[in-house]
Amino acid sequence: MIPAVIVVTGTDTDVGKTVATAAIAACLQHAGRSVAAYKPTQTGVTGADPGDMDVVARLTGVPTSEGTRLIAPMAPRAAAAREAVALPDLEAHLAEVRRLTSAYDHVLVEGAGGLLVELTDGAQTLADLAVAVPHCGIVLVARSGLGTLNHVALTREALQRRGIRSLGVIIGSWPTSPDEIEIDNRAYLQDAPLLGVLPTGMPQLPPDAFKRAAVSALPFFA
């Protein structure tokens, strides 16, 4: 059963969470489900730049929203301190998730960086948000190369310790010609379970082709 709220985290920043969020949204749309996406804390963009949710909207057309947008390409608390602004608190993020959940079949929530990056001035993280959202599930986006097995194991341990339901792992960018390390990593991740791999080049596809590639890559959601 695919939960109403799907939280998308990663083993790190820049691993492909945004593209995976778009791919999951495209699959759910393909299955006839209504979808919205939410980014509690966007950093590293100015007012005019496209943020993660703009990428998701471009690739899928789903409605999106952001909790806050900060300029410095840093962790949220550091970026907010530079601008001397307060971050939205956890209840504000939960209120937005509830608002979206009341209007759409599924809400995708993309974190900033990895699972335990602090998103609020009270040092609460995406894990705290997931714990507070009943019956949500987390998707973990990981790299393909050397080092990813440990990063996946660390994040899964953090999820298990908090009793957060892990739906599985997505490899954010799967090369056309994977090397032997990447092939071994993929085999070791099968029991995670590995929900799928996103072929390198997906975000450069036009929306229709992106949706077809997403449905092929992530049958769990389609």
Among positions 6, 17, 129, 202, the unique one binding Mg ion when judged by CB under 5 A:
17
- Quote the least distance from Cβ 38 to Mg ion, whole Å: 12
Q: Distance between CA 48 and CA 86 in Å, rounded?
A: 21
Going by the DSSP 8-state scheme, the letter that residue 160 receives in this structure is: H
For ligand DNN, give the closer residue by CB, 12 or 182: 12
Map residues 68-87 to x or -, x wherever contact with ligand DNN holds by CB under 6 A. -----x-x------------
Region 8-67 residues binding ligand ATP, contact defined as CB under 6 A: 10, 13-19, 52
Answer yes or no whether residue 3 interacts with ligand ATP by CB under 6 A: no
Q: Which is it for the CA torsion 157, 172, 3, 87, positive or negative? A: positive
Q: Which one from 11, 39, 120, 129 is the annotated catalytic residue?
A: 39
Map residues 30-69 to x or -, x wherever contact with Mg ion holds by CB under 5 A. ----------------------x-----------------
CA dihedral 29, 44, 99, 115 (to 10 degrees): 80
Q: Which does 182 bind (CB under 5 to 8 A by kind): Mg ion, ligand ATP, ligand DNN, none?
A: none
29-48 b/e (C-beta count within 10 Å ≥ 16 → b)? beeeeebbbbbbbbbbbeee
Known binding positions? 14-19, 43, 52, 110-113, 172-173
Token pair recorded at residue 177: 């010609």
For ligand DNN, give the closer residue by CB, 119 or 213: 119
Amino acid identity for residue 85 in this structure: V
Asked whether the bond before 40 is cis by omega within 30 degrees of 0, the reply is no
Q: Which is it for the CA torsion 76, 77, 80, 82, positive or negative? A: negative
Q: Where on the chain is the footprint of ligand ATP (CB under 6 A)?
A: 10, 13-19, 52, 112-113, 172-173, 198, 200-203
